[in-house]
Amino acid sequence: MNLEALFKISYGLYIVASVKEGKLSAQIANTVFQVTSEPPKIAVCLNKKNTTHEFVKSSRVFSVSVLEKETPMQFIGRFGFRNSRDFNKFEGVNFKIGKTGAPIVLSHAVAFFEVELENECDVGTHTIFVGKVVDAEIISDAPPMTYEYYHYVKKGKAPKTATVYLEK
């Protein structure tokens, strides 16, 4: 079997952000998808080791920012390769606190959603969090970043905690 076949699956690139007792967290994720339309529900898949996983489990709210295609690699690295526990990812970043209390990253975002958690599906190293969309806005008409563009054109890497990591 050739697991590189898994690289043929298409994804976008997103920042998922949450809150716990006044502390903010945010991380890069590629597994964000709409799962129902009536009512509109979103699912995200997060690694159990990540701070945002802990915060979503606790506060039961999160936001998703859809990143624009030309998001600088440095910006992605800030959210994807650091830990919210010991580094303030929001410093110098344009964001707002949404109606759920979760932070919403606006820098380099073409759209955002806010989600109230309804289901958790334990899939091993990760959890799929599913919830109802309670707010949604388009911020810009710039094209969204795809994971393919990030990986093949921008030569971006995935951390070991990603859903798509494949040891070579």
Closest approach, Cβ 9 to its own copies, in A, equals: 6
> Residues 70, 116, 29, 31: is their CA dihedral positive or negative?
negative
**Taking CB under 8 A as the rule, does residue 108 contact its own copies?**
no
**Taking CB under 8 A as the rule, does residue 126 contact its own copies?**
yes
Rounded Cα distance, 120 and 117, in Å? 8
Residue 53 backbone dihedrals phi, psi, to 5 degrees: -60, -50
One of 54, 57, 133, 157 touching its own copies (CB under 8 A): 133
- Those residues with Cβ within 8 angstroms of residue 38's Cβ, 6 or more apart along the chain or in another chain: none
Rounded Cα distance, 87 and 82, in Å? 7
One of 52, 113, 115, 117 touching its own copies (CB under 8 A): 113
Report residue 121 as tokens. Answer: 């599906």
**Taking CB under 8 A as the rule, does residue 146 contact its own copies?**
yes
- How many CA atoms within 13 Å lie on the side-chain side of 153? 10
**Taking CB under 8 A as the rule, does residue 66 contact its own copies?**
yes
One of 23, 43, 101, 107 touching its own copies (CB under 8 A): 43
**Taking CB under 8 A as the rule, does residue 53 contact its own copies?**
no
Residue 78 amino acid letter: R
**Taking CB under 8 A as the rule, does residue 33 contact its own copies?**
yes
Coil, helix or strand for 80? helix
**Taking CB under 8 A as the rule, does residue 70 contact its own copies?**
no
**Taking CB under 8 A as the rule, does residue 61 contact its own copies?**
no
Binding positions for its own copies, rule: CB under 8 A: 1-6, 8-12, 31-43, 45, 66, 110-113, 118-119, 121-126, 128, 130, 133-138, 144, 146-147, 162-166
